[in-house]
Amino acid sequence: MSKIRVAVVFGGRSSEHAISCLTAGSVMAAIDQERYEVIPVGIARDGRWVLAAGQRLAVEDGKLPEVAGDGLPLALPLDPESPGLVVVAPGEVPRTLGDVDVVLPLLHGPYGEDGTIQGLLELAGVRYVGAGVFASAASMDKAFMKVVWEGAGLPVGPHVVVRDRQWRRERKRIIDEIKELGWPVFVKPARAGSSMGISKVESEADLETAVEAAREHDPKVIVEAAVEGREIECGVLEGLDDDPPAASLPAEVRIGSGHDYYDFEAKYLDDGLRLDIPPKLPSTVVEEVRKLSVQAFEALGCEGLARVDFFYTPDGRVILNEINTMPGCTPASAFPKMWAATGLDYPALIDRWIQTALQRRIGLR
């Protein structure tokens, strides 16, 4: 039998470019080469698409990877006679990208994980791994994510949304709202991940600086009350053959010395991060985390895969924090480790992503 052709798309224009490259390197090293033919497609920071075979996709000498934009350039127009991705090299007649069976968009952050590439693939009639346009966009935007969860009756923490115009014209009112959350607070770009642009703020004196730092990543900012508690994560996978979504064993994130919270360096560059899988929690709490993970996944209409993040408070409450529809899958990442502990090793996990994408019909669903 011929191999299934998978276009692995990575890099992108967001501040999480390097993490996407790390995820792609990890996935391509683990994918079953006997079953899948991989076509690596990199998106450079300036938005150019290139065939990216042989590019460095790991941390070397402390340097993060980056897609080199000088490979064979690609364009992706739509061909009404033959739906699919189309390659256009300079001076050549357009040709299809080898009749790709499925796209694996390993993009993190805006311009990839937020519904943009999903919309392109929907227009092209190409199957792809992961959440659709709306679920990707709503999950990427922490403000709308919380609106959906609150509407579904799921537990979320107190927060204030800071929109661009309001910050410029109603700053005092916004600051007064934030002060009502109490100190400390966490200031985050509304549509970013990998802890980019996040600050822990202990007093009003540092608030404006933190908001401006977050606005460098996104003009829309969310400010969250600090929740005292343990950080818990859980993986979710779409079911096969109309089965309901499944949740992994959760993990507790324990941060080593030198980090006040789960920042970028703790996630990707230091070796001080520890994961307890499963966490040392009562079995009833573990099951509640798994149940809420699936409910959070379904409330947003997610597909494929997601990682759901929680706080477990000293008084026994489980509070939803965030969802990530294309979680990092670097060697340090929790998502593949949680599923390995649940009985699904890395190659089988990737196979599950692809198989659920292939079983999904094209168009509205």
Asked whether residue 75 carries a pLDDT value surpassing 60, the answer given is: no
**Residue 78 binned pLDDT confidence (cut-offs 50, 70, 90):** very low
Domain 138-156+228-341 homologous superfamily, CATH: ATP-grasp fold, B domain (3.30.470.20)
- Angle at alpha carbon of residue 141, lines to 157 and 108, rounded to 5°: 115
- Domain 4-128 matching CATH 3.30.930.10: the answer reads no
Q: What is the pLDDT of residue 97?
A: 55
Per-residue pLDDT reduced to its tens digit, 183-222: 999 999 999 876 788 999 999 999 999 999 999 999 999 9
Instruction: Give percent of the chain above pLDDT 90.
Output: 67
Q: What is the pLDDT of residue 275?
A: 94
Per-residue pLDDT reduced to its tens digit, 237-285: 999 998 999 999 999 998 765 546 555 455 544 555 789 999 999 999 9
Higher model confidence: residue 193 or residue 166? 166
**What does pLDDT average to over the chain?**
88
- Cα separation, 327 vs 322, in Å, equals 11
Higher model confidence: residue 78 or residue 233? 233
CATH architecture of the domain with residue range 159-225: 2-Layer Sandwich (3.30)
Per-residue pLDDT reduced to its tens digit, 19-66: 999 999 999 999 999 999 999 999 988 888 887 777 777 777 778 888
Kindly state the average pLDDT of the residues 4-18.
91
Q: What is the pLDDT of residue 258?
A: 54
Kindly state the average pLDDT of the residues 290-306.
98
Asked whether residue 74 carries a pLDDT value surpassing 60, the answer given is: no
Kindly state the average pLDDT of the residues 66-80.
60
**Neighbouring-strand partners of residue 10:** 42
Per-residue pLDDT reduced to its tens digit, 305-316: 999 999 999 999
Q: What is the pLDDT of residue 92?
A: 53
Kindly state the average pLDDT of the residues 285-291.
98
Please confirm whether the linkage preceding 250 is cis (ω < 30° from 0). Answer: no
- Cα separation, 153 vs 303, in Å, equals 21
- Per-domain residue ranges of the chain: 4-128, 138-156+228-341, 159-225
Which token pair is 322? 């965030």
Asked whether residue 143 carries a pLDDT value surpassing 90, the answer given is: yes
Q: What is the pLDDT of residue 123?
A: 83
Q: What is the pLDDT of residue 365?
A: 79
Q: What is the pLDDT of residue 94?
A: 46
Asked whether residue 148 carries a pLDDT value surpassing 60, the answer given is: yes
Whether the pTM exceeds 0.85: the reply is yes
